[in-house]
Amino acid sequence: MIYIPDGLSPGQKYPWIVGLTPNGRGERALSFLQTACDTYHWILVVPESHGTVLPWLALDPMMNDIIDTCIKNYPVDANKLFSAGFAGGAMEAHHLSVLCPDKVQGVIANCGIIHGAGLQDPDYPKGKLAVFLTSPTDGRYIQMKENAQFLQGRNWNTTWMEFPGGHNWAPAQYYTKAVGWLDQHANAH
């Protein structure tokens, strides 16, 4: 699924975000990221799965293909790609920064963590942006705090946003704040 906000200028390239859900249901990511994309003129790409959930790392070829196809066919800025996800989708969003370190500039992780293998990777990317969206009552809260420290140790610029509600999608206004923060810091990056 591709969401292109109204009001984009022909011939111009725009920041874009790959939205990832733990079950591959694109309309869920769209419902939380649409206002952010409309506000900041970001394009949203949401891979969808209507079949069996694939095992960890089996998505890598598909994700590379999606990214390359979008760069070729849509008005996306190849230098301003971001990834976002909830729960397992957040884990995949973090993984995209490892899979495509020359393309992914930042991550929004909503109640999700970096895969343990990534934390052991000596070549984990440096100098990117990360927004952590979480609730103090989420079971991954402490691990997300540790992830933020890990990324800060790799010279990532990070920000932390808390919302009430446990292990859930952050309300849409938090995504709008997160995209705004990325938009501001990507331009300064």
The single residue listed with the structure tokens 């973090």 is 94
- Structural contact between residues 183 and 40, judged by C-beta atoms closer than 8 angstroms: yes
Domain boundaries, the chain: 14-188
Strands 14-20 and 76-86 turn out to be parallel
State how far the Cα of 51 lies from the Cα of 74, in Å rounded to an integer. Answer: 26
47-68: pLDDT as tens digits: 876 556 556 566 777 888 889 9
CA distance 109 to 122: 21
Task: Using pLDDT thresholds of 50, 70 and 90, give the confidence band for residue 28.
Answer: confident
pLDDT tens per residue, range 165-186 = 999 999 999 999 999 999 999 9
pLDDT one-digit tens code per residue, 99-135: 999 999 999 999 999 998 889 999 999 999 999 999 9
Q: Per the CATH hierarchy, to which homologous superfamily does domain 14-188 belong?
A: Alpha/Beta hydrolase fold, catalytic domain (3.40.50.1820)
Name the residue with tokens 């991550």: 107
In the prediction, which pLDDT does 27 show? 72
